[in-house]
Each structure stands twice: as structure tokens, then as C-alpha cells.
Amino acid sequence: MTAAAGEADTALGPVAGGAERILFVDDEEDIVKLETRLLRDLGDGLVSRTSSLAALQVFSADPHAFDLVISDFTMPKMTGGELIGKVRELRPAIPAILISGFHDATVYAERAAEVPPMEFVKEPFSRAELAQAIRRALDRRAAVARELDVS
């Protein structure tokens, strides 16, 4: 895969016993490779992109093909927060996790008021921390869908 193409598809094993499909986005190809290894035992399916624009294109093609979106916050052209906002225009109740190496409280405070809620994971993080965030996001999706009266 080339970073310019913004694509890397990788099949994984189940997410904490589930059969979820995850869209993972980070603009750094090395991080995508590392996270793919981290997620290997956590997800039934993974589609990775190194571009938020490419990720939005993939999601837009079939919004119900994904159970969760995980995105880095800081990316060129469209931030992870903007990406998740656009994804939620297509599918309002999709669970999302935003990853950031910045520990700026204002970034987290701005996103904390979102409905449906978004999980946050601060870099660096462990496999267990990511797995817990994934499980919380996925476990909350049915309640959020009922609350928004959508899926």
C-alpha cells in the first residue's frame, strides 16, 4: 500500500468476542500498521485508511457495512472529529473512538458534549485500553440508536 492511495484492507479476528467491522483511520502509514497488529485479535473485520477523505468515501459507499469508526484526531485536510461528524451525518448512531496524542483538555471538552457520545483514547495507549474503549462504544450503540430513533 502507498500512503498516497490512502488504503490498506486487513482482515482481523473478533473484537472481544464480537463480529464487528471497524473503519480505522490515521494519516501515518506506520501507525496504521501498528494499530492493525493491535486490533488483530479485537475485530472481525478491519478496513484501514491513511486519509480521512478516503475513509469518508469508503464509509459513504456503504454506511451500514461498519459497526465502529476509530480515527486519529490530527490529520491533514479533515480532522478525525470532522470525519466522525460527516460519518454521523450518514449514520447518526455509529459508535466512534477518537485517538489523540495531544492532551489538550479543550479538544476533549468540545467533543464530550456530542450525542451520541464519542470515546476518547489518549496516545500512547495499551491494547487493553483500546479494547475497553471499543467494547464501551459498541455496548452503548443500541441505547444510543433507541435514543436517536435510528440505527
Give the pLDDT band of residue 13 (cuts 50, 70, 90): very low
Q: Give me the chain's average pLDDT, please.
A: 79
* The CATH number, out of the four listed (3.40.228.10, 3.40.50.2020, 3.30.1280.10, 3.40.50.2300), of the domain defined by the range 8-148: 3.40.50.2300
What's the pLDDT score for residue 2? 36
Mean pLDDT within 37-48: 76
Q: Provide the whole-model pTM.
A: 0.80
Q: DSSP letter string over 59-125?
A: HHH-GGG-SEEEEES--SSS-HHHHHHHHHHH-TT--EEEEES---HHHHHHHHT-SS--EEEESS-
Return the domain boundaries, the chain.
8-148
Name the CA radius of gyration of the chain, rounded: 14
